[in-house]
Amino acid sequence: MYLTREEEKMHSGERGPAREWAMNYLVAYGEALDAESFVEISSVGCGGIYIDTLKGVPRDVYRDIVKRRMAVPVYSWCIPDPEQWQEGGFTPEAVEKHRELNELSGKLGIHVTGTCANYLVGWIPIFGSHVASDESSQVPYINSVLGARSNRETLESLLRIGIAGRTPFCGLHTDEERQGNLLVRVDAELRDASAYAALGDYVGRIRQESLGVSGDIPVFTGIKGDVRPEYLVGFGASLATTGNVGLYHLVGVTPEARTLSEAFQGEKPPEAVTVGEAEMKEAFTQISTQGPDEIDWVVLGCPHYTVDQLYQLSKRLEGKKIKKGITFWVLTSPAHREMSKLTGILNTIKGSGASVLSQCWSILDGLHPEGYVVAATDSPKFAYYAPKIWRATHPGTHVDVWFGGMEDCVSAALTGKWREAT
């Protein structure tokens, strides 16, 4: 791998133990990926708890990180929200630990957005800029919608990349590897966010072979009408759950696909896979585990809801009560929760008996179901992971999941029964 003079100094330890430690990993990583050089990045967006990764580093490296700080701004979340820890099922010890970690984050230049979707709160990379990101909704969104460039990084690589300020130059960082490699013709009406989410889940499953560091780059035609950011948040999360996806192009919608030809960089597109109404029906059906229709638990906001989604939800819950015995979670970021508080949306939702939790994800230690639970959700990502996440950590927990739109989930919460949308 080619190293610049500065990179050589970092690698040899001349720039302190933290940079040396980071570069040792990144050189091995770059060589494994067959990258020829590094690219400097301008920021890091981390969907996990960035500061937690510092716990395992050698002491001299840790001291050096505290001394020299991160090389670039880092945006990350941290759990739990100290104001909601009881509702979120956290212990006072966990809250105290995270308060300390938040303070340390502030000293190092790690900005705690409190959400997996940093790009909806304050991390807004510029078109064409090189950044580093992880998390299933985040990588596709910043690549596809914002046109910034990142491979599918992980908590482990993001820590080193944040310290060194660079990442291997390959995959989605290069022009040529942002070219579409799968063509999907959408011949169905995408009526709401759940339809986009189901489409993503379906298309993510198509390819099984490896397409290299960039992974699948599906190009969609036939997407019409009002495409809202919220639709694409869930769409990318679904694609990256069932597939190996960090970038997609919507012809006529996303910035690197003004035309079909641009999406394929002037080359002949492959034969199209058509997704019609029948395939969309199959997409919805295969996400659910098809268990009993008596609902115990409703989970919305994976990825985190925006204030507009909270508003849509409040309209459906206004003056209504969630059926007794049903747990109803709405997950969002602190910033969007705060906005919903200002205008009364939050109170309307809470008045129905729902919990609006910020800085939480649907699947974590503090909060977990016990025994046999049937959940309803508008998130294919939640539906995919929930049945297996607690298998090792909480034996005896078994989760069945129904997937549908916000409307279906609210209806299930009010009646206690899942009914398929017609």
Partner 1 sequence: MKGRTRIILHGRKAFGGVAEGEALSTTRRLSGSMGGLQPTGEICERGHELDGASFKGKILVFPCSKGSTGWVIAFTKAAENGNGPLALVTQTADTYTAQAAILTRTPMVVDLDADPCRVIATGDWVRVDADHGLVEIHKKNLQT
Q: Does 330 bind partner 1 (CB under 8 A)?
A: no
Contact status, residue 65 vs residue 163, Cβ threshold 8 Å:
yes
Is the separation of the CB atoms in 61 and 21 below 8 Å? Answer: yes
Q: Is 157 in the site for partner 1 (CB under 8 A)?
A: yes
Chosen residue from 208, 324, 342, 370 binding partner 1 by CB under 8 A: 208
**Residue 154 Cβ, how far from partner 1 at the closest point, in Å?**
5
- Residue 388: CB minimum distance to partner 1, A: 3
CA atoms within 13 A on the CB side of 414: 16
Nearer Cβ to partner 1 (207/341): 207
Q: Does 385 bind partner 1 (CB under 8 A)?
A: yes
Binding footprint of partner 1, residue count (CB under 8 A): 44
> Which of 20, 64, 81, 134: binder of partner 1 (CB under 8 A)?
134
Q: Which is nearer to partner 1, 49 or 227 (CB)?
A: 49
Taking residue 140's Cβ as centre, other Cβ atoms within 10 Å add up to 27
Structure token digits, residue 303? 């990825």
Q: How far is the CB of 83 from partner 1 (least distance, A)?
A: 26
Taking CB under 8 A as the binding criterion, the range among 77-85, 209-217, 277-285, 331-339 that sits at the site for partner 1 is 209-217
Which position among 123, 390, 402, 403 is part of the footprint of partner 1 (CB under 8 A)? Answer: 390
Residues 55-84 that bind partner 1 (CB under 8 A): none
Q: Rounded CA gap, 330 and 311, in Å?
A: 12
CB 276 within 8 A of CB 225: no
The DSSP result for 192-253, as a single string, is SHHHHHHHHHHHHTT--S---TTBB-EEEE---S---HHHHHHHHHHHHHHS-BS--EETTT
* 210 lies in the binding site for partner 1 (CB under 8 A): yes
Q: Which amino acid is at 112?
A: V
Query: What is the spatial distance between Cα 417 and Cα 404, in angstroms, rounded to a whole number?
Result: 13
Does position 396 interact with partner 1 (CB under 8 A)? The reply is no
Q: How far is Cα 300 from Cα 297, in angstroms, rounded to an integer?
A: 10
Among residues 148, 150, 333, 81, the alpha carbon closest in space to that of 230 is found at 333
Decide if residue 422 touches partner 1 (CB under 8 A). no
Among 3, 104, 124, 363, binds partner 1 (CB under 8 A): 363
User: 27 CB contacts (<8 Å, ≥6 apart)?
Assistant: 1, 3, 11
By CB under 8 A, name the one of 388, 415, 417, 421 that touches partner 1. 388
Q: Can residue 212 be called a binding residue for partner 1 (CB under 8 A)?
A: yes
Q: How far is the CB of 137 from partner 1 (least distance, A)?
A: 10
Tokens of 188: 């169905």
| Residue 39 in contact with partner 1, rule: CB under 8 A | no
Q: Which residues bind partner 1 (CB under 8 A)?
A: 25, 28-29, 32-34, 47-48, 134-136, 139, 151-157, 171, 204, 208-213, 215, 240-244, 289, 363, 381, 384-385, 387-392
